[in-house]
Structure 1
Amino acid sequence: MSTNSTAASLEHVSQLLRDVSSCLLLVDAKGTLVAWTKENERMFGAAAENTVNSVNVVDLFATRSEGEELLSKLGQAGHVETTADMVKLSGGGFPAKLIFSAAGSNDRCLGIVTDVSDREQARENFNYLKVYLDTVLEISGDAIITSDLDGVIMMFNEGAEAIFRREALDALGEDMFALLFSKDDIPEVKADLQHEGHIRDRESKLVMGENDEVFLEVTISRTRDARGKETAMVALIRDITTRKRLEEERLQNERVQHEMRIARGVQLTMLPDRPPKVDAADIAARIEFCDDIGGDLFDFSHPRSGKLAVSIGDVSAHGVGPAIVMSSAKAMMNTLEQYTEDLEHMFFLLNNLLEKTTEDDRFITMFYGLIDLDRKTMEYVNAGHDAPIIYRAAKGVFEELQSTGMLLGVLPSERFRLGDTARFNSGDLLLLTTDGIWEAADPEGGAFGKTRVFDILREMQDQPCQAILDALFRRVKEHCAGQRAADDQTAVLFKFR
């Protein structure tokens, strides 16, 4: 705080104290007087130019040792209350009651000196001043603005300088209400202050500079002197911008989480409740999202021919956007398969629809198989998806159904071809996965890999499909060793009878 603003602050407070035969003393850590008001001149008989930075507070004591003892105690305890005989620098003296306290972190001490020549009046004054000083020191870490009863600023402390980014000298004489509140709020604030005599913790939003929003919490009280006469208004201001922004972020996060829960619920309704039960095969499926909702999806459906269709897909990235894209792709696929079982034509149409409706940075990999359960055969199209795995139980060998076309939604008019018809025998396994399974990484970055997937299928080929998938997901989790999954993980498993 500047010397001018300090002097202005003390001058105003001294006006509040004038009627109670008291004055303020502001000293540095060594006791040197650093400010001097008209009330100091009246009480001690010396002008500011003869005292500031040249007179020590101990020089105001009739007994110098009493002044030195006060400084010593103040340095140790930070607060002193005592009585002493004071001297006027112009001659003479008077008995006084003194209260001194350390004034925050500025290496300065603030004191109130009360003339107790009239002891009964002085006792009343002293009690009032003690409460006043304690209050000021208690809230000195906040911004404090003092004004007259019309709202004209008369004191502007360091906290106010920090919040409003201006020097105290520039703020003196301005309208306190215009500084603290918006133009629309001022009439209501004044009405509440007139009716209640105070305002408690009223929030105010101001714009400083071009676009810098600041949120304040303002308390305004009318002050009275020892005789009960209203003398001024004191505003306590706290900058609550950080708190408000944290509250807004919390509320926004809660809204997002609520929307995510709704989206997750919608997405889960699009997944099959359970795999279909058929005589020709045991079937199981499992999906785990790395976020609340994801970009993986699997489905079972029955086109008009009565065959069993199985599909699995993965949208680039994960989260809300990919989930919406995948849900749209599923709806399109379910519609198209009711009109045609020509998989090449179906994927041609699906790709064109997705290319027109998805963003440029989105694409889908998808495998779609159409299984004739009576013949245990499967026609399929693989649009850039991870190759499904077939385990031939009789021979103990693995086959992979490689891609037969590019990713969906990238280029229009792209052609897709059928893969070679897959034929299954009793005991054969068909595993469809997304890359989140075999790309799952341990803390050092090592991928789970397809070899481990092969090993699990071989080891557990005699187990039910659900048990095999549970073991697969468990071992993936063990491999990650607490590392959070970076992608959705989906698997569908058939075991033919």
Structure 2
Amino acid sequence: MARWCHDTWKVFPRFVFLRYERRDSQGAVSRLPSERMMSKANKRLVAGAIIAALLGPLAGLATQRALRRADDRRDLDRLGRKVSERVQALEAEVADGRRSVVAAAALLSTSEATTSSEFTRFAVELMARGSALQALSWAPLVPPGERERHEAEARRDAGPGYTITERTASGTLVPAAVRDHYFPVRFIEPLAGNEAAVGFDLGSDPVRLRMLSRAAETGQPAISGLVRLVQETGSSKSFLLAVPVYRGGGDDGGARQLAGFATGVFRVEDLISASSSDKGNGAEQDIVVELVDDASGSRLLSAGPPTGRSNRVASAVVRRDVHLDGTTLTLIARPTASYLSRMAGSRAGAIGFGVFLACELLLALALTAHRWRFEKTRREQAEFARSVIHSVSEGVMVADANGQMTIVNEAARRMLGRGPMNVPRAEWAKVFGLFVPGTDQPFPADQLPLPRAIRGEDVPETEVFVRNAQVPDGAWTSVTGSPLKDVHGQLVGGVVVFRDVTHQKRTQELSQRLSNAVEQAADSVFITDRTGVIEYVNPAFEATTGYSRAEAIGRTPKLLKSGLQSPAYYATLWATIAGGEPFKGTVINCKKSGEHFYAEQTITPIRDLSTGEITHFVSVMRDMTERIKLQESEIEMRLGGAVQRRLFPQQPPTIPGYDIAGTSAPTSATCGDYYDFIPLPDGRLAVCIADVSGHGVSAALIMTAARAYLRSLATTMTPLDRLAGELNRLLLADLEDHYFVTMILVLLDGASGALTWANFGHPTGYVFDRSGAVKAELKSGCTPLGLFPNLKCTQGPAITLDSGDTLVLLTDGILEAASTSGEEFGATAVLDVVRSVIDRPAREIADRVIAATHSFLDGQPQEDDLTVVVCKSTKPPSATL
């Protein structure tokens, strides 16, 4: 068949397109008279016609383009002037708004008691002048100490719900956090639609804060970057203009003080709309306008008519800078095809078409005179070619360059149907029932072999699934295609040959599906012959056992024996599968590395379908090791955690004049951190915080032992240095080489406030005075416990916990907590957190440190236990005597 196709297509194109070669018995080539009919005169005529056909469009196109380029230059100059006018209008709109904000600032600077109604009357008058301001507002400077007074005063006219707020990352308004200064929106006009902005702290947003800082530093108006307004839920962009308001500095010569900021809000969309100079005549409706931020390179706004195939954006572009109080934006305008067509004249097209039409008329006359000479011979030769094609058993289809079917043989009609064949090329897949194999998706029209051949491609074997009324059950076909060319090598059509490969395809697909299922299975699969010799293993077997396919094939499953299964187990296994029954069980196998693993195994006999005899065994194994270990570990962790939680202090001790609290956040159910409060016989209180190296159950057990030893030794009234030495000796006897305990032990005399302490390799503790300044540091002067036989220790200097002083102890999990960038939380951040809540109760201080650490992690997993102990002196020591 392949040789026949080769010979046929060697003959067929030449036959149809007037170059059919006929060979005699000796192999000599003779040609039909049709080719000799083309005289030299006719060839010259055809050549002249082709030249005329090419020169006509070229001449018309060149004329049209020359005239159109002149029109385009004129239109672009006109567009540039229009854009410049729009930029000036936009800058003027912002300048008008700026004057309104400056006027509001002047009003606010003259009086410290401006009321809401006064501000509203003044703001309404300013905004009625026609500027593009969206809103005008007043944001006073409120120190932290005056926040409550400010909120109480504001609620008198703003309503009981007024509070200073900030916006979270999710867009929710919440009470503002503690910060150095607040700039809440006190008044805003218009209030309708802007209620959410009342009370919003402009200093809580970095973009707004940079604007306020720049205005305060220069004393001049400043514009913010783009922001999303808190009173809006959409995605529109706006920017703010802030003018500083100063008060004081009158005749007494005092310095002027910053009182707050008058601010104006501009919507970018409103500015663009207000700056349009052609709102009614539709000229600008055919211009695409973009506003771009030069600093960030981001597109702020895009406006204009819908564009597409019928109204494309031209390549010409006009750019103009927009200067807004130190901020530079770029206004970009692009005309559409509708704009250019409206601006352009009609002379280019008319003149160009006239030139083209004259050339084409000459060509038509020449071709009409030449065509009739070849028509008769072409029909005779085409009929002969069709008779050859219809005699073959494979399906053959031939189409011309336009996709019109010229030949469809009987074999093709039996498969594709006997209805009309000359349907549009885009509907071939639908009409003939041609699908992408393995799907219900019609074969893409441009990817079918025949259209590809028409485009000039040599199409190798391509599978096409056919399902139609002639073949209701469907059939797979293998299709090849070739382009058809005339005697000059010009592409004039295409031909395809297809054969039915349904049986081969279905057999191949079934085999491939079975192979893929086994190869991609997550469970280990291996197949042996009836004697147990391995013939196949899948990739999961290699990954689980460590034996490669080459190492396993040819051996028996004994290579997985762990020696932990009894002979009776294997005897039962072989008896079951030899009897033709599947075997299921859990077995302990051994990997190539020597590591044991639990496997849930099913072995199934495979029989020859013709004889019924067992020929192979297939085994499926699922590795259960991690699941079993995880179950055991979870049980162990839950039990250990339950015991450990009972050992932490359930309630802090109650000592007159002191507020004491402790808290811990473990990484798992069990914890290696430890804190304790131990009353001593002499009335003092032992405050302890410790950290065991490592995590999990082992660390929790060491912590439990350390707690028991410390509580026992504390009751003997042993001096601190001797107590530490004895505790070190006991732990050293219990711990393995790589375990140790760091600890800070503080003895508090409640009557005098005196602290006796020692630090055994633990992170530094701190004593703060009531202002938040660090009064003393409890640095390490001893080696960790349980690490060396001879404990080297220097007891810390005496410290007195005076009225308002706060003792803070913590573990290294807080200091070493790492953010997504790898930066550690560190001691500086801890000190800042404590200072921010130094006047709060001990429990709140401890909780705030833990919360700040979790916030710093920002979703990163906690890698170490977090523990904090806080002890505050709430009255002077003399008051407790």
- Length-normalised TM-score, structure 2: 0.36
Matched, 1:238 2:619: yes
1:495 aligns to 2:495 (yes or no):
no
Q: For 1:414, what is the secondary structure of its paired residue?
A: coil
- Contact 2:772–2:834 under 8 Å retained in 1: no
Q: Which runs of 5+ in 2 are unaligned?
A: 1-391, 395-410, 412-462, 466-472, 476-502, 520-524, 539-547, 557-564, 875-881
Map of 2:568 onto structure 1:
184
Matching of residues 73-472 of structure 1 within 5 Å: 102=507, 165-166=552-553, 184-185=568-569, 188=572, 198-203=580-585, 216-220=601-605, 231-240=612-621, 243-244=622-623, 247-393=624-770, 396-472=773-849
More contact order relative to length (CA 8 Å, sep ≥ 6): 1
Kindly indicate whether the alpha-carbon contact (under 8 Å) linking 2:534 and 2:552 is maintained by their aligned counterparts in 1.
no
Contact 1:204 1:218 in 2 (8 A): no
Aligned to 1:117: none
Letter in 2 for 1:237: V
Contact 1:283 1:493 in 2 (8 A): yes
Q: Tell me if the contact between 1:144 and 1:234 (Cα under 8 Å) persists in the aligned partners.
A: no
**By how many angstroms is 1:300 displaced?**
0.5
- C-alpha spacing 1:443/1:308, structure 2 compared with 1 (3 Å): same
State the shift of 1:285 in Å.
0.9
What per-residue deviation string (whole Å, max 9, x for no partner) do you get for residues 429-451 of structure 1?
11111122233222222222223
Residue 396 of structure 1, CA deviation: 4.3
Contact 1:163/1:239 (<8 A) preserved: no
CA deviations on 1:390-435 (whole Å, 9 max, x unpaired) are 1112684432122232222222232434322221222111111112
CA 1:199–1:359 in 2, change beyond 3 Å: closer, same or farther? same
Determine if contact 2:526/2:619 at 8 Å carries over to the other structure.
yes
For the 8 Å contact 2:606–2:618, the answer to whether it is kept is no
- Which SS does the other structure have where 1:406 is aligned? coil
Higher alpha-carbon deviation: 390-399 or 279-288: 390-399
Pick the structure with greater CA Rg. 2
Partner Cα distance (1:429, 1:279) in 2: 15
CA distance in 2 between partners of 1:208 and 1:309 (Å): 54
Return closer, same or farther for 1:103/1:274 CA change in 2, 3 Å cut-off.
Answer: same
Does residue 478 in structure 1 map to residue 846 in structure 2?
no
Q: 1:120 — aligned with what?
A: none
Provide the secondary structure at the position in 2 that maps to 1:102. Answer: helix
Sort the Cα spacing of 1:303 and 1:203 in 2 relative to 1 into closer, same or farther, 3 A.
same
Aligned equivalents of 1:395, 1:140: Cα separation in 2: 68
Deviations 1:226-273 (A, max 9, x none): xxxx75235441331xx22xx221111111121111111222121111
Determine if contact 1:284/1:494 at 8 Å carries over to the other structure. yes
**Deviation string for 1:32-65 (max 9, x for gaps)?**
xxxxxxxxxxxxxxxxxxxxxxxxxxxxxxxx97
How far, CA to CA, are the matches of 1:495 and 1:418 in structure 2? 22
Contact 2:664 2:865 in 1 (8 A): yes
Q: Contact (CA 8 Å) 1:203, 1:218: kept in 2 or not?
A: no
Alpha-carbon deviation of 1:212?
8.6
Name the amino acid aligned to 1:217.
Answer: T
CA distance in 2, matches of 1:208, 1:488: 36
* Structure 2 contact 674–690 (Cα < 8 Å) conserved: yes
Distance 2:592 2:796 in 1: 66
Structure 1 residue 80: Cα displacement: 12
Change beyond 3 A, Cα 1:349–1:105: same
Contact 2:576 2:583 in 1 (8 A): no
Q: CA deviation at 1:347?
A: 0.7
Conserved 8 A contact 1:303-1:341: no
Post-superposition Cα deviations, 1:306-325, rounded to whole Å, max 9, x if no partner, equal: 32111011122333332222
Helix, strand or coil at the partner of 1:365: strand
RMSD, matched Cα: 4.6
Is 431-440 or 449-458 further displaced after alignment?
449-458
Query: In the aligned structure 2, how far is the partner of 1:486 from the partner of 1:326?
Result: 18
d(CA) in 2 for partners of 1:422 and 1:405? 18
Matches of 2:602 and 2:870, distance apart in 1? 61
Q: 1:452-496 deviations in whole A, cap 9, x for unaligned?
A: 322333332221111222222222222221222232211111111
Query: Cα gap change, 1:475/1:189 in structure 2, threshold over 3 Å: closer, same or farther?
Result: closer
CA distance in 2, matches of 1:467, 1:105: 68
Gaps in structure 1 of 5+ consecutive residues: 1-63, 70-74, 82-98, 108-133, 172-180
Give the Cα–Cα distance (whole angstroms) in 2 for the partners of residues 183 and 237 of structure 1. Answer: 21
Q: Deviations over 1:288-313 (max 9, x none)?
A: 11233232110011122232111011
Secondary structure of the structure 1 residue equivalent to 2:757: strand
Q: Residue 280 of structure 1 contacts residue 376 of structure 1 at CA under 8 Å; is this kept in 2?
A: no
How many pairs are equivalent?
366
Distance 1:294 1:232 in 2: 61
Task: Note the C-alpha offset of 1:364.
Answer: 1.8
CA drift of 1:327 comes to 2.0
Report how far residue 353 of structure 1 moved.
Answer: 2.1
Deviations 1:145-198 (A, max 9, x none): 676xxxx79x9965699699345xx99xxxxxxxxx99635654576579xx64
The 1:283/1:184 distance shift into structure 2, 3 A limit, reads same
Q: Percent identity?
A: 27
